[in-house]
Structure 1
Amino acid sequence: MSASGLKLRDYQAECIDIIDSLDGGAHLVQMATGLGKTVTFANIHRHGRMLILSHRDELVAQPVKYFDCPVGIEKASRHSNGEPVVSGSVQTLSRGTRLQRNFKPGDFDLIVTDEAHHALAPTYQKIVDYLQPRLHIGFTATPNRGDGRGLDHVFEDIVFQRDLLWGIRRGYLCDIDCMQVEVDWSTKGVSAWRETSS
C-alpha cells in the first residue's frame, strides 16, 4: 500500500526497491505516460528531505496529494518552511538568489527531477550542482530527446524502464488507435513569421 492509500502496482514497487538499493549518484527511470511516475516517486523511502523539481505549474502542485507528510511549495510567491518534501518550480529556484537564500548544500538527501528529459537545461544543473544531493533520480516517459542530446551528461544510467508497448501489452495502458488525415492544401511557399526585437 502506498503512502496515499493507493495499492502500488508490482512494477511501481519493483522500481522503488531498485531506487532504495542505490547508494547515491544520478540515475534515470523511464515510465510511459499513464504508468504512475508520480505515485512511484512519492513512495520512495526517504532518508532525509526530498526536493521534486518540475517545469510546469500543474506538475509542481500534482505530487502533494500523494505524500503522507507535509509538502512545501517553492513557486513564485509561495515558500516552503522546512517540510520533509518540497515541490519546486525550476524557473523559480534558478532565478536570482532564491535558491541560496532559502537552502544550503546538503539540505536534500534526494532530488527527483520530473520530466527529466529537460534536465540538460542549465537551470536544472544550477539547482542540482548547488544542493549536492546524495541521490538524484530523474523520471521521464521520453529519455530520447528530439535534439539528439543524450541525458548521459546528467544521469549515469537507466535503472528502470517500462515503455508504452510494455504498458499496452500488459493491459495497464490502452492500445493506440492511429488515423491518417489527408488534406488538399499545402503550406509550401508559406513563410514563417518571426518576431524581431526592436
Structure 2
Amino acid sequence: MATLVRRLERLPVPDLLVIDEAHLAMAATWSRVVNYYRARGTRILGLSATPTRLDGQPLGDLFGALVCGPSPRWLMAHGFL
C-alpha cells in the first residue's frame, strides 16, 4: 500500500475505484488514496461484510452512503446460510 501511495501521481485516474474490505479504508493510507482520487472525479465504491467498526467511526464519512443488506440472523432464519 505504501508503494501505491508514493506513486499516486504517476498512475492514471480511474473512473471508478472499488475497495473491498472497505471497513479497513478508514486507515490513514487508504483515506489518502480515496481522497486523492475523489478530488479528481473518481467515483468510490466500498464493499464490506463488516459495515461497523470497532472504533465507532462510521464508514459513511468516507463513502457518503451506507447500504446494508440482510443480517446474518435473517439469512439463517430464511435458509440462505
The TM-score with structure 1 as length reference comes to: 0.36
* Native 8 Å contact 2:60 2:66 kept in 1: no
Q: Compare the two structures and name the one with the higher helix fraction.
A: 2
Q: CA deviation at 1:122?
A: 1.4
Q: Provide, for residues 54-75 of structure 1, a one-character-per-residue CA deviation record: whole Å limited to 9, x for no partner.
A: xxxxxxxxxxxxxxxxxxxxxx
**Following the alignment from structure 1 to structure 2, what is the Cα–Cα distance between the partners of residues 151 and 130?**
17
TM-score, length-scaled by structure 2: 0.76
Q: What SS does the corresponding residue of 1:129 show, helix, strand or coil?
A: helix
**% same residue:** 38
* 2:9 counterpart of 1:100: yes
1:151 pairs with one of 56, 59, 72: 59
Structure 2: how far apart are the matches of 1:162 and 1:108? 31
Answer whether contact 1:112 1:139 (CA < 8 A) is retained: yes
Gaps of 5+ in 2: none
Higher strand share: 1
Cα pair distance change 1:109/1:160, threshold 3 Å: farther
Q: Hey, what's the Cα distance between the residues in 1 that align with 2:70 and 2:4?
A: 30
- Which string of whole-angstrom CA distances, capped at 9 and with x for unpartnered residues, describes residues 38-83 of structure 1? xxxxxxxxxxxxxxxxxxxxxxxxxxxxxxxxxxxxxxxxxxxxxx
- State the structure with more CA Rg: 1
Aligned length: 79
Moved over 4 A (4+): none
How far the C-alpha of 1:164 sits from its partner, in A, is 1.0
